């Protein structure tokens, strides 16, 4: 029955993983996305044709993760001012959206975290300087770094209230509506920072309680009569912890959700875009901190287009009609493109533009003419391109003979390229749920394996028949693990350590300055508030991989090398091994594991949350103690205390 149960559990796990993959990666037909969300630009006149005129258009800018710091890269603030002087003065956007992490709030050695007033003052000074070069409305909100060590929203340490553009009026989420002669556009800021905001590292995931969710629902209802709703926040939706149906359901009538936080994952994932199952686009933007990136978004006849730009790149080119097929939305009317009369291109430059040439499918369409501001247009016949994907190419030449070419796919029948696999995985999964699931599977498999082996009276029945190294190693390690599970000391010690990190408190420390919190894998208690587990599950996975599993393997190998057991484990006797064999096969692995565990025990949590986290740290500090005790018992027989390790043999399970 033990084998059947184990096989059943594995099959269930595989089925769950397969269901998640199918849900994320099987494409949804374009016309089936979000059936209850028809294009809502009813305020936009249906008689207006996408033609050559400079009308029915506006644009705005997004930047994210500025991380102004008093300790690192002192050019982040000055470069922001340079951006305003060199770019905003030319772009002249109606809005500038800043999606969090305005300041760095990390100590010089990066292990500690607090709000430094000097960083906030520098951000405020940058806003003041920027106002000299642009009249844009500045919509900023908090990121997790802006909430480090903030006990509550009204606490004096919440410098966002005083030194940001929106903090004085809006402490958390807010709604801003931009009204033009051709319609109204709603911008909803999503503040998912935990309240209270613990020190790092347990402040990486966003959280939305019921009150904040209801607030966002009200904003969504107030924006129902808008031409278009743009949502923006710091955390990707996959990093926001909330009860079902979740934030994606709340923002299901939004055309796009703009975010940051992930910093292009160190440059490995630069185009982090996807379309959620609700039809809402989710666009993560590369950071200002390391990459000096910003995004220009244009709403042209209620068609949303964007381009991501590095500081120093000129000119900035945006093809708004025909729109990039990859970013078609069920909230936009594709008929507008089908009935349009002109290709429309926005070109922003600090130099004079000499020519804007347009090609479609390698056939030259001609030279676009300048209309007004950044708009260039050229007449086209969309009826030629009604089926499938096509490519439009625009080449811009300036007065210094610099040329820049952009290409993008377009379609008039809803055809669209797929988004890349890794961005879809990152943005469409619920990462905290994935962490919780992996941790639970690891713990369950660990306990199931030890329990199954302990109940097996003759492990040889489960040996694999066959020759070769793989069969030998499997059978050998199965024997070692079985031997360990049948010994009371090792079985209960190893099992108890895993059960403890699952249910017991990990440590108590100064999660907030002046406030002690208690950390469990399933959540944090601090300042009378419970913050659900998120990042903690990944630390649990890390603890399992770096300590619990290596300790199991070490103990199993040690028991096998040091002791001889009879077939049914009626007796275990000491085995004589050489000094060098003991040193290489037992001492070196143990010391390696112990030194690594000691390093992270003495550094990570104590540096972040004080020495209390070291003294009152049953998981990390207790792991060291457990490892040393087991090492002593296994290598120092006989002992005086037969209750721990009997003098002549281990206590065993009959």
pLDDT in tens, 301-312: 999 999 999 999
3-state class (DSSP) for residue 29: coil
Task: Give the pLDDT mean for 497-502.
Answer: 96
pTM summary value: 0.89
Is residue 644 pLDDT above 90, yes or no?
no
Residue 167: predicted pLDDT: 95
Task: Give the pLDDT mean for 137-160.
Answer: 96
* Distance from C-alpha of 103 to C-alpha of 318, rounded to nearest angstrom: 30
Task: Give the pLDDT mean for 217-229.
Answer: 95
Beta strands in 181-255 (DSSP E): 183-190, 206-207, 228-233, 240-241
* Distance from C-alpha of 572 to C-alpha of 487, rounded to nearest angstrom: 10
Is residue 598 pLDDT above 70, yes or no?
yes
* Distance from C-alpha of 244 to C-alpha of 377, rounded to nearest angstrom: 46
Please report which confidence band the pLDDT of residue 636 belongs to, taking 50, 70 and 90 as the band edges.
low
Among 34-38, 262-266, 383-387, whose mean pLDDT is lowest?
34-38
Please report which confidence band the pLDDT of residue 31 belongs to, taking 50, 70 and 90 as the band edges.
very low
Task: Report which of 246, 176, 186 is spatially closest to residue 210, judged by C-alpha positions.
Answer: 246
Is residue 16 pLDDT above 50, yes or no?
no
Residue 42: predicted pLDDT: 45
Residue 45: predicted pLDDT: 53
Among 243-247, 275-279, 562-566, whose mean pLDDT is lowest?
562-566
3-state class (DSSP) for residue 5: helix
Digit-coded pLDDT (tens) for 442-483:
999 999 999 999 988 888 888 888 778 898 899 889 989 998
Task: Give the pLDDT mean for 420-433.
Answer: 93
Is residue 93 pLDDT above 80, yes or no?
yes
Residue 575: predicted pLDDT: 58
Rg (CA), the chain: 30
Q: Where is 407: in which H helix or E strand?
A: strand 403-411
Residue 458: predicted pLDDT: 82
- The residue extents of the domains of the chain are 315-429, 438-635
* Distance from C-alpha of 96 to C-alpha of 64, rounded to nearest angstrom: 10
Average pLDDT of every residue of the chain: 88
Considering Cα of 642, then 647, then 648, then 649, what sign does the dihedral take?
positive
Q: Please name every residue paired with 300 in a beta bridge, in sequence order, or none if there are none.
A: 57, 303
Residue 507: predicted pLDDT: 95
Is residue 637 pLDDT above 70, yes or no?
no
Is residue 26 pLDDT above 80, yes or no?
no
Digit-coded pLDDT (tens) for 513-538:
999 999 999 999 999 999 998 999 99
Distances (CA, A) of 130 to 292, 386, 508: 16, 45, 44
Residue 566: predicted pLDDT: 47
Residue 564: predicted pLDDT: 60
Task: Give the pLDDT mean for 610-628.
Answer: 92
> Reading across the β-sheet that carries 375-379, which strands appear in turn?
316-321, 342-348, 375-379, 369-372
Residues in the chain: 654
- pLDDT: which is higher, 636 or 266: 266
Q: CB 49: neighbour CB atoms within 10 A?
A: 15
Render 311-364 in DSSP notation, one character per residue: TT---EEEEEESPPGGG--TTS-THHHHT--EEEEEEE-SS-EEEEEEEETTEE
Tokens of 44: 């936009």
Distances (CA, A) of 535 to 199, 201, 207, 492, 581: 13, 8, 11, 28, 41
Residue 574: predicted pLDDT: 55
Residue 562: predicted pLDDT: 75
Residue 47: predicted pLDDT: 64
- Residue 36 C-beta-side C-alpha neighbours within 13 Å: 7
Is residue 5 pLDDT above 50, yes or no?
no
The rounded percent of the chain whose pLDDT value lies above 70 is 87
Distances (CA, A) of 84 to 81, 154, 289, 310, 348: 5, 31, 16, 14, 14
The CATH code for residues 315-429 is 2.60.40.10
Contacts of 406 (CB under 8 A, 6+ apart): 307, 317, 319, 393, 394
Is residue 504 pLDDT above 50, yes or no?
yes
């Amino acid at each position: 029955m033990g084998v059947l149960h184990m096989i059943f559990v594995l099959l269930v796990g595989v089925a769950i993983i397969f269901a998640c993959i199918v849900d994320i990666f099987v494409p949804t037909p374009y016309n089936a996305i979000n059936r209850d969300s028809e294009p809502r630009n009813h305020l936009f006149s249906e008689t207006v044709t996408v033609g050559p005129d400079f009308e029915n258009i506006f644009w705005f800018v997004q930047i994210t993760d500025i991380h102004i710091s008093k300790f690192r890269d002192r050019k982040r603030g000055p470069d922001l001012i340079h951006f305003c002087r060199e770019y905003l003065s030319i772009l002249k956007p109606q809005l500038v959206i800043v999606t969090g992490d305005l300041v760095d709030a990390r100590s010089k050695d990066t292990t500690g975290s607090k709000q430094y007033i000097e960083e906030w003052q520098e951000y405020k000074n940058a806003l003041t300087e920027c106002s000299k070069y642009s009249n844009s409305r500045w919509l900023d909100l908090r990121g997790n770094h802006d909430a480090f060590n903030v006990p509550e929203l009204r606490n004096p340490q919440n410098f966002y209230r005083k030194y940001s553009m929106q903090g004085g009026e809006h402490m958390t989420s807010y709604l801003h509506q931009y009204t033009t002669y051709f319609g109204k556009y709603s911008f909803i800021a999503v503040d998912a920072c935990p309240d209270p905001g613990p020190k790092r590292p347990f402040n990486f995931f966003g959280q939305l309680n019921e009150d904040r969710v209801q607030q966002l629902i009200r904003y969504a209802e107030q924006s129902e009569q808008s031409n278009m709703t743009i949502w923006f926040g710091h955390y990707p939706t996959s990093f926001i912890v909330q009860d079902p149906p979740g934030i994606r359901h709340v923002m299901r009538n939004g055309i796009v959700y703009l975010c940051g936080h992930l910093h292009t994952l160190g440059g490995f994932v630069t185009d982090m875009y996807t379309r959620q199952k609700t039809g809402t686009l989710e666009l993560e933007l590369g950071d200002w901190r390391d990459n000096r990136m910003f995004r220009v978004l244009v709403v042209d006849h209620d068609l949303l287009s964007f381009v991501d730009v590095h500081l120093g790149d000129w000119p900035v080119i945006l093809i708004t009609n025909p729109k990039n097929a990859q970013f078609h939305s069920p909230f936009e009317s594709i008929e507008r493109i089908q009935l349009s009369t002109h290709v429309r291109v926005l070109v922003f430059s600090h130099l004079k533009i000499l020519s804007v040439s347009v090609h479609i499918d390698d056939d030259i369409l001609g030279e676009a003419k300048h209309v007004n501001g950044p708009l260039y247009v050229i007449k086209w016949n969309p009826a030629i391109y009604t089926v499938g994907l096509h490519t439009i190419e625009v080449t811009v030449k300036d007065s210094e003979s610099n040329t820049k070419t952009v290409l993008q796919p377009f379609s008039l029948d809803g055809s669209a390229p797929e988004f890349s696999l890794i961005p879809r995985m990152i943005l469409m999964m619920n990462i905290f749920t994935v962490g919780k699931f992996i941790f639970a599977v690891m713990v369950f498999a660990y306990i199931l394996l030890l329990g199954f082996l302990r109940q097996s009276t003759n492990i040889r029945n489960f040996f694999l028949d066959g020759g070769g190294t793989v069969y030998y190693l499997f059978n050998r390690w199965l024997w070692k693990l079985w031997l360990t599970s049948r010994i009371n000391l090792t079985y209960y010690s190893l099992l108890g350590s895993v059960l403890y990190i699952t249910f017991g408190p990990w440590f108590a420390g100064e999660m907030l300055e002046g406030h002690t919190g208690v950390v469990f894998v399933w959540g944090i208690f601090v300042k009378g508030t419970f913050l659900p587990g998120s990042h903690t599950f990944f630390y649990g996975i890390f603890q399992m991989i770096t300590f619990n599993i290596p300790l199991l393997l070490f103990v199993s190998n040690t028991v096998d090398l040091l002791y001889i057991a009879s077939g049914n484990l009626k007796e275990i006797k000491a085995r004589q091994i050489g000094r060098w064999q003991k040193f290489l096969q037992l001492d070196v692995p143990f010391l390696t594991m112990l030194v690594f565990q000691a390093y992270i025990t003495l550094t990570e949590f104590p540096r972040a949350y004080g020495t209390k986290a070291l003294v009152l740290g049953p998981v990390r500090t207790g792991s060291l103690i457990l490892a040393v005790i087991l090492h002593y018992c296994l290598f120092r027989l006989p002992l005086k205390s037969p209750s721990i390790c009997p003098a002549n043999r281990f206590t065993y399970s009959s």
